[in-house]
Each structure stands twice: as structure tokens, then as C-alpha cells.
Structure 1
């Protein structure tokens, strides 16, 4: 079950607090106990995709980190 929603540039403006200096994209890891067992089957984004999303959000944020 891959994730289907893709971030949009407005997502960074709404997700980040006004004046926030740092925004972190973190890789999803389907481990441990989850509230919804269906997420155990979710396929995480490849690192290249997370880096592409970070580049697209760069104009809206001061600093973006990608954690894989």
C-alpha cells in the first residue's frame, strides 16, 4: 500500500509555524505497534523522493532536513 498523497508547496506554509527556521521530512518506518495495522504494509518513499520534496519546499523554508 504506497502512500498516495503528495506534498504541495502550500503544505510547507501551513505545516511549518510562521517564522520556523527548521522543517524536517522524516522517512516513514512501518515498525512496532501501529494504531492501524494497514500501515504495516505501507511502502516508504525512496530517499531520492524525499530529497526531491525537500528541494521543492526550499523556497518556503529556511532550513530543511531529510531523515531516512
Structure 2
């Protein structure tokens, strides 16, 4: 009976450590996801600014072409 109890205690300890490790990994992944979402937002904003600048240049070039 004592061996069974020790075996159970050992398994519970392993589960506790495993859960703690998973929690740390989960926290790390959530932090990484948050950082990636912020980076994505900044890149989308830069992309939109670049798109607007290119569209503006195209309009100006067409205007110059029509004048010439």
C-alpha cells in the first residue's frame, strides 16, 4: 500500500511540474503573439502609407503625361 501511495505521489509531483512548465510556455507564447500582433499592425500601417504615396505619385505622373 505504501508503494502505491508513493507512486501516486510521484505521479502527482510530475503532473504539477508538467503543468507549471506548460503554463510558462503558454505565457511565453502569449507574449510572443502579442508582440507579433503589434508588429503586424505597424507593418500594415507602413504598407498603407506606402500604397498612398505610390498612388499619389501615379496620379502626379499621369498629370505630367497629360500636360506634355
TM-score (norm 1): 0.22
Q: Return the index of the structure with the highest Cα Rg.
A: 2
Give the helix-richer structure, 1 or 2.
2
Given the two structures, how large is their TM-score scaled by the length of structure 2? 0.22
Which of 1 and 2 has higher RCO (CA within 8 Å, sep 6+)? 1
Higher-strand-fraction structure: 1
